[in-house]
Structure 1
């Protein structure tokens, strides 16, 4: 509302009647003392309520005025997060030391001229998911770079507020960051199970791919293509049909089968010159030349 005079606002032709909730701040009211514009802040969250419309019949006298534009520029800026301090950058990430239950606060500090800020007394106030607060002193490990670890084994959100003071005790920078421990350590992503993958490859006959570059090898790809097998199936069916007809017509006994097998063996052992005479004898054998 900076620079705005409510008495100079155009007439508002309508609005929704509402009741402000506890903790809300009333910015504008109608001549009936009813809420037109209100704001509410809860923690870091901010909300605005405008009970009229923006371009409809209720605010038709407002939409083209400079006061209306100025009002909404200020309202939108108020609802947006405050810009960060350009002289400090704070990050919180899992610590690479220990058993994975700790988090690390990383701070980079710069002077307004662009150089590093060294020898600052730096600390981090941490609010854990259980509501308990604690302070961790940060050590300088490089020019303009400070860090410190804290216990973050409990799942939940951790709020971290970093404060830096100079040698005179004056606060030169302050920033807020957060860290989320969503799951216990046993639920954290692990490296691939190489033993299981090798066993699956062995049982399925798949080639091993030990390195990422081997994924592009052409010899690891088994190509398959469809092939027609109907000719083999057709020949098999015709052969079985002929055998079935022969068995139905001849109706041989086991004695006949044994005789045919024995005769075939004798013919196979005969010299080539005697094969023709043996075949004539075989054809003349009872039951072979004529169907019964």
Structure 2
């Protein structure tokens, strides 16, 4: 019973981080209709940004996450303004450009930091829920991720700007007809999406070790969550984050960590066959 409760608790804490991991990808997909193949590169940039700020400037890792959002968000804005806005009618070219950007980022990080795995040591002690140990750093990461996700959702659903962003998601032509500058909204969406990816990288770097090529592993989880939750459906993504966290944790504990990717791909395949529009049946197809 303790093992089951530990799995459930770990899944809840991990789900908050996974939600942020996929939120930026979902926003970019919903507003720009772009499958951001550079998502993993943006995540790993956030991880290394936190590493540098903590190691060389002694900044608290969770405070560094705020800086990650700005740094990676600016990089995302430069990528969008410098290239992506000119490829609206060339999705294939855009896809290869984003893949190329990821390769460049990975190569630059390899040159700068080498191939060694890095870690950000965060030891805030341990709490006990009955006989179940809980790392305080995991709780802090969950609270930080939940606050960031909640603030993003609040902006999207409770502000005029957020409603305009969601309107672009639903019908870009109608938004243009009422005089809203959809290009600026697209820039904003890509910048915010990139910033959230950077923040996710900073948060998740306090959990696991990472290297210059680790972005792909994180991106696979993010893409799986987006597919399971429904393309562009943020609420569905929140539910999918818990399902994926529960699956990966359970497989690791009860079976083997070597089967994690296999289990994840089987879940994605099952959703595509039985629920192609996601768990809430509201995503794109």
Q: TM-score range by the shorter chain?
A: under 0.3
Larger radius of gyration: 1
Structure with the largest fraction of helix: 2
Q: TM-score, normalised by structure 2?
A: 0.18
Return the structure number with greater relative CO, CA threshold 8 A, min gap 6. Answer: 2
Structure with the largest fraction of strand: 1
Q: TM-score, normalised by structure 1?
A: 0.18
